[in-house]
Amino acid sequence: MQKRKLGNSNLEVSAIGLGCMGMSFGYGPAADKREMISLIRTAVDSGVTFFDTAEVYGPFTNEELVGEALSPIREQVVIATKFGFKPAANGEGRWSELDSRPEHIKEVAEASLKRLKTDVIDLFYQHRVDPNVPIEDVAGAVKDLIQEGKVKHFGLSEAGVQTIRRAHAVQPVTALQSEYSLWWREPEAEILPTLEELGIGFVPFSPLGKGFLTGKIDEYTTFDSMDFRNVVPRFSAENRKANQVVVELIGDIARRKNATPAQIALAWVLAQKQWMVPIPGTTKLHRLQENLGAVEVDLTPDDLEEIDNATSQITVRGARYPENLLRMVGR
């Protein structure tokens, strides 16, 4: 597995990481714990060193899973987790209100360390920007945790340009995690140039478009009642039908390259910048192996130009989040 450094930091990780959220949360019922531990360890054996989780995934159960899976091989891997949500009093509020008060950040860090069975968090992201807490205070709290040896690197997720700049001035930001893929390219306008200027790495989540870019989802696909995609406008049956044109484009290139659509979608992300590390998620061993095979796919400058030209003619239908979650991004 190739390695990459996130921006100007000394944080080196595998060129493709593993997003662990879907093992516990978001795409239907939680998967079998023993199978997921085995999958995570197989990823390590395959060269993956970068694992992504968060306290709200579950909530809490995903961190516990990742901790159990990786604790025997802790020195070989980089673990990223997140703070910034306020769990509901009844424990049911997976996406509850935001809370990035410095005292809460430090409480979350202590709890995450226990669940992850570790004494240090490699990369600690603010999960969403909290408009009620100055980002300087957030960065300062993480800076304290870094000085205490409990956190190594500070990250932001779905933050806007000015927030990134203000945070970076207090505590250097190692990575920004935001959605980015062949059907969501908005970060190219302002975010990516800012990251390049400041030397910040980029960790695209949903690089396979929440599964859509694999070519395995169409207008007739039904999702589990607990699947987050049921409330995503982009995943309405009408929009899935309209958006098949993106999948068809990727499929054409995949056939020429003797690759799968998922591998083309990931190879495209990898080809954008050397400081970009996508974190596709999966609960299936064959999908893990397929995704990791993307590092072997060589997209030439001509291929990339063809993809750009073709996708520029396509308007993807539907918002990427329901309205209540859209309000939380880009601040």
Q: To which residue do tokens 């478009």 refer?
A: 209
Determine the 3-state secondary structure of 226 from DSSP. coil
Does 27 participate in catalysis according to the annotation? no
Q: What is the pLDDT of residue 92?
A: 56
Measuring CA to CA, which residue among 219, 196, 201, 171 is closest to residue 318? 219
Quote the CA–CA distance of 186 and 10 in Å, as a whole number: 27
Q: How many domains does the chain have?
A: 1
Residue 311 lies in a domain: no
Three-state secondary structure string covering 88-106: CCCCCCCCCCECCCHHHHH
- Cβ neighbourhood burial of 96 (10 Å; 0-12, 13-18, 19+): middle
Residue 323 lies in a domain: no
Q: Which residues contact 91 (CB under 8 A, 6 or more apart)?
A: 59
Q: What is the pLDDT of residue 112?
A: 98
Q: What is the pLDDT of residue 309?
A: 93
The one-letter amino acid code at 105 reads I
Q: Do the beta carbons of residue 290 and residue 264 sit within 8 Å? A: no
Q: What is the pLDDT of residue 19?
A: 98
Q: What is the pLDDT of residue 130?
A: 97
Tell me the Cα Rg of the chain: 19
Q: Exactly one of 27, 57, 125, 180 is catalytic; which is it?
A: 57
Residue 55 lies in a domain: yes
Could you please report the per-residue DSSP string of 24-52?
Answer: TSSBSSPPPHHHHHHHHHHHHHTT--EEE
Residue 72 lies in a domain: yes
Determine the 3-state secondary structure of 42 from DSSP. helix
| Positions of the chain with pLDDT lower than 70, given as ranges | 89-95
Q: What does the pLDDT look like over 70-85, one tens digit per residue?
A: 999 999 999 999 999 9
The helix or strand, by DSSP H or E, that contains position 123, with its residue range, turns out to be strand 121-126
Q: What is the pLDDT of residue 91?
A: 55
The CATH number that applies at residue 122 is 3.20.20.100
List the domain range (segments joined by +) for residue 127: 3-208+273-297
Residue 331 lies in a domain: no
Residue 161 lies in a domain: yes
Q: What is the pLDDT of residue 318?
A: 97
Residue 56 lies in a domain: yes
Q: Do the beta carbons of residue 119 and residue 140 sit within 8 Å? A: no
Residue 239 lies in a domain: no
Q: What is the pLDDT of residue 87?
A: 75
